[in-house]
Each structure stands twice: as C-alpha cells, then as structure tokens.
Structure 1
C-alpha cells in the first residue's frame, strides 16, 4: 500500500512548532461556531417558531427569487435531496413555498417562496441579523476586519 500524497505533503506535527497552536485555534473556532449556531437555533425556535434548516431553505429561495430546483436547493445547502424535500414539504404546507413543475423537464420541480413566504422570511432575516449582531457585539470594526482577513487567508489554504 502506498502513502497518500496529501499525507506526504503535510509536515509531521512534531516537526511543526505551530501545530498545537493551529489545533487549538481550530477547536476555538469550532466552539465559537457551535455556540453561535446553538444560540441562533434557540432564538429562531423561541422567537419565530421555526428551525435553522427552515430558515436556511427560505434564505436560499429568497436569494433566488425565480426559485430553485430541488436538486439545486439541496446542493446550495449541502444537504441531501431528502432533507431539502422534507423541509420544503413543511414550508409548502404552511403556505410559505410553492412547487411548480419545470415546463421543459417534467421530472424537475422548482421551489419558490410565496408572497407570504417573502414577507415572513424578510421579517425573520432582519431579526436574525439583529441577533447575530448582538452575539458578536464585542467585536469592533478592527476586530471584524482582522477576522475577515484571517478567515480569508485560512480558506485560501483549503
């Protein structure tokens, strides 16, 4: 069995003096992300009687006013078609989303926010932004710029 080229490219942790610090940074980043996500889940549940997956589906459909096929929606959200379909089913029952067949492809269905869905999402999105603003209120403009630069640098590595 041969070694993976990816494993060969990475320095051994013992040889890299920053390895432990990078690991700790990753753990801190993950903890901050999980804490914020948990707070947002709870906020949406308590204040808007909704879930983060419903919010995410509505956000994706809001960005694409002409709607998305179910496959495109699941790809955009990085979830399975089944997960996307289950959320859209509930949103459709609530009158927030409508599904329509695509004229030139009978197998494809496009999901679109209804007018009520747009209204509900826009109100939720404004409240969501206020909540996120509160979660990160301790960061000033310089902190946010430094964080953006660091995250941009980190994502260029991957």
Structure 2
C-alpha cells in the first residue's frame, strides 16, 4: 500500500472519530445543560478573555460569521450569562464578556465536558495523549502557515 493511501485512510478515521465525539458532546450538552456546542464554545472563548472580546475578534477565535456570534451573544446576554460593554475610544464597538453567573455556569459545563472527553479518550495513556496532541498541533500549525501564505 502506498503512503498516500495510508494518509488518506488516517484522514478518514480522524474525521469519523471527530464527528462521533462531536455528536456525543452535542447530545450531552443538550441533555445535561440544555445548551448547544456553539454556546459552549463561545463561553469557553470568553472564559479565556475575562476582559471580554470584540465581536469581530470572537468571530475570528470561533471561526464563524459575525451573524452567528451575534445571535449566540444575544441569547447569552438575555440569560444573564454574558454582557456587552462599550470599547473605550470606539463608540460603535462593543465587547462581550461573561458575567459572574456566566463564569459559574461555564465552570460547571467545562467540568462535565472534561469528564466526557476523559471517558471517550480513556483508552489513551497520558503519554499517548500528549504525543498525539503534539503531532496534531504541529499539523495544525503547518495548515495555519499554509493558509497565511495562500492569503497573501
């Protein structure tokens, strides 16, 4: 068998596993927290930036359109989990950040999420998980460099 066929097979298996894990996470978030994976992802991004993020930056971090971000931010704000704050020096721009209630809710969800992932990937030793994560991170960095080159 050729190397390219082995790599194609690897890609297809990565895709299948990723889609399966994502489906299980979506289901668990819906059942246990009555939320969605995009809402969880937005709260995760905001949790890493306690000062908040501009909507455009949030779109970039999540790699989704501004419209998608706006809708999710609207719902989180309506539920008291996030708030919009003005950007100093820019009257038109707003930042979104988690409220104290949002931080508390995300903490609950993140703990459950970590447990679910731990269960799903429990067949990997810590060393295997670190090695695979490092290899995939290098692959992602290569892809990011190629995207930047192609954008020029």
TM-score (norm 1): 0.85
Compute the displacement of 1:101 (Å).
1.6
Matched, 1:28 2:28: no
Q: What's the CA shift for 1:142?
A: 3.2
Return the offset for 1:147: 1.4
5+ residue gaps, structure 1, are 1-15
Count how many residue pairs are aligned between Structure 1 and Structure 2. 143
Query: Please, what is the CA RMSD of the aligned residues?
Result: 1.5
State the partner residue of 2:39: 54
Q: Residue 109 of structure 1: SS of its match in structure 2?
A: strand
Distance 1:154 1:72, change over 3 A: closer
Structure number with bigger Rg: 1
Q: Which residue number corresponds to residue 13 of structure 1?
A: none
The CA deviation at 1:144 is: 1.3
Partner of 1:100: 85
Q: In structure 2, do the counterparts of structure 1 residues 148 and 107 end up closer, same or farther at CA, with 3 Å as the change threshold?
A: same
**1:18 correspondence with 2:26:** no
Separation in 2 of the partners of 1:153 and 1:100? 36
Within the alignment, does 1:128 sit opposite 2:100 as a pair?
Answer: no
Where do 4+ consecutive residues of structure 1 move more than 6 Å?
Answer: none
The answer as to 2:125 corresponding to 1:140 is yes
- 3-state SS, counterpart of residue 35 of structure 2: coil
Q: Which runs of 5+ in 2 are unaligned?
A: 144-152
| Distance in 1 of aligned mates of 2:129 and 2:2 | 27
Q: What is the rounded CA distance, in whole Å, between the counterparts of 1:120 and 1:149 in structure 2? A: 30
Structure 1 residue 153, shift from structure 2 partner = 4.3
